[in-house]
């Protein structure tokens, strides 16, 4: 019995090595297990389920094989791919999870998040996030022609890169108080998230008791995942891409 967690692959056409590593990874490790959780920024960009690029279709086909093997697949949105919708999830055999979500894995409750909402020191980004997650804005956006959306996505990416360059490292990381607040709001002791590209396990206190925050790694240089099995602590694992 195994459950795997991954995030921040940032799949894109210009990195076929990451796509290849993902296809190998699921074939070797995700077939016939309990569940595969993908906690956001799976794709580097997403402008609507109607795009149907070869990359998107290859990945959906691989995931539907994983699903057919008996593995449950869950997607959570990241800040890059928050427009992934039910249509693509159906093609990939995945269930869309809210951010945040509490799930029980082998008797332990975990708060799952992408992680960007925890970075509250970045006030400018949080404002931007609130706009992007507005359902009315999203509906309006998705009705625009594909070419318009491609153009907008390119612009947003350039703006985001330019803005992040001037930001301090601490602003780009999670706010410790926000982590505690979320754990206490949900009454759980364990959190798993990605987004920051700082894979690690952190011990802290929440709800007046020891708590733990596990940060998943990005796939820029390494294949990172978290492996959970019954009766043991989940383990962060990696190998070079």
Among 79, 117, 189, 190, binds Mn ion (CB under 5 A): 79
Q: At closest approach, how far in Å is the CB of 50 from Mn ion?
A: 23
* Identity of the residue, 154 or 233, whose beta carbon is nearer to Mn ion in the bound complex: 154
Q: At closest approach, how far in Å is the CB of 216 from Mn ion?
A: 11
d(CA 52, CA 82): 16
Q: How many residues bind Mn ion (CB under 5 A)?
A: 4
78 is a contact residue toward Mn ion (CB under 5 A): yes
Q: At closest approach, how far in Å is the CB of 23 from Mn ion?
A: 22
d(CA 25, CA 63): 11
List, in sequence order, every residue forming a beta bridge with 223; answer none if it has no partner: 239
d(CA 209, CA 83): 37
Sign of CA dihedral 203, 207, 208, 209: negative
Q: At closest approach, how far in Å is the CB of 176 from Mn ion?
A: 19
* Identity of the residue, 44 or 189, whose beta carbon is nearer to Mn ion in the bound complex: 44
* Identity of the residue, 78 or 217, whose beta carbon is nearer to Mn ion in the bound complex: 78
- Closest-by-Cβ residue to Mn ion is 195
Phi-psi bin for 141: left (phi > 0), alpha (psi -120 to 50), beta?
alpha
- Each residue 185-204 as x (binds Mn ion by CB under 5 A) or -, in order, gives ----------x---------
CA–CA–CA angle 120, 166, 134 (5° rounding): 40
| Assigned token pair, 178 | 């926000």
Among 3, 41, 84, 228, binds Mn ion (CB under 5 A): 41
Look at residue 20 and give its three-state secondary structure: helix
Which chain residues interact with Mn ion by CB under 5 A? 41, 78-79, 195
């Amino acid at each position: 019995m195994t459950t795997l967690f991954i995030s921040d692959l940032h799949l894109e056409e210009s990195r076929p090595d990451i796509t290849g590593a993902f296809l190998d990874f699921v074939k070797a490790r995700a077939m016939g297990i309990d569940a595969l959780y993908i906690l956001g920024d799976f794709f580097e960009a997403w402008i609507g389920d109607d795009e149907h690029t070869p990359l998107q279709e290859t990945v959906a086909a691989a995931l539907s094989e994983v699903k057919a093997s008996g593995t449950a697949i869950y997607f959570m949105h990241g800040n890059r791919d928050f427009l992934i919708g039910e249509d693509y999830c159906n093609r990939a055999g995945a269930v869309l999870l809210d951010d945040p979500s509490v799930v029980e894995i082998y008797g332990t409750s975990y708060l799952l998040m992408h992680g960007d909402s925890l970075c509250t020191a970045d006030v400018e980004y949080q404002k931007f996030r609130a706009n992007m997650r507005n359902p009315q804005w999203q509906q309006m956006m998705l009705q625009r022609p594909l070419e318009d959306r491609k153009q907008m996505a390119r612009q947003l990416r350039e703006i985001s890169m330019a803005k992040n360059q001037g930001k301090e490292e601490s602003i780009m990381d999670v706010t410790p108080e926000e982590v505690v607040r979320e754990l206490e709001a949900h009454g759980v002791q364990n959190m798993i998230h990605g987004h920051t590209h700082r894979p690690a396990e952190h011990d802290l206190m929440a709800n007046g008791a020891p708590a733990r925050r596990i940060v998943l790694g990005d796939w820029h240089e390494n294949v990172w995942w978290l492996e959970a099995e019954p009766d043991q602590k989940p383990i962060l694992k990696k190998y070079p891409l």
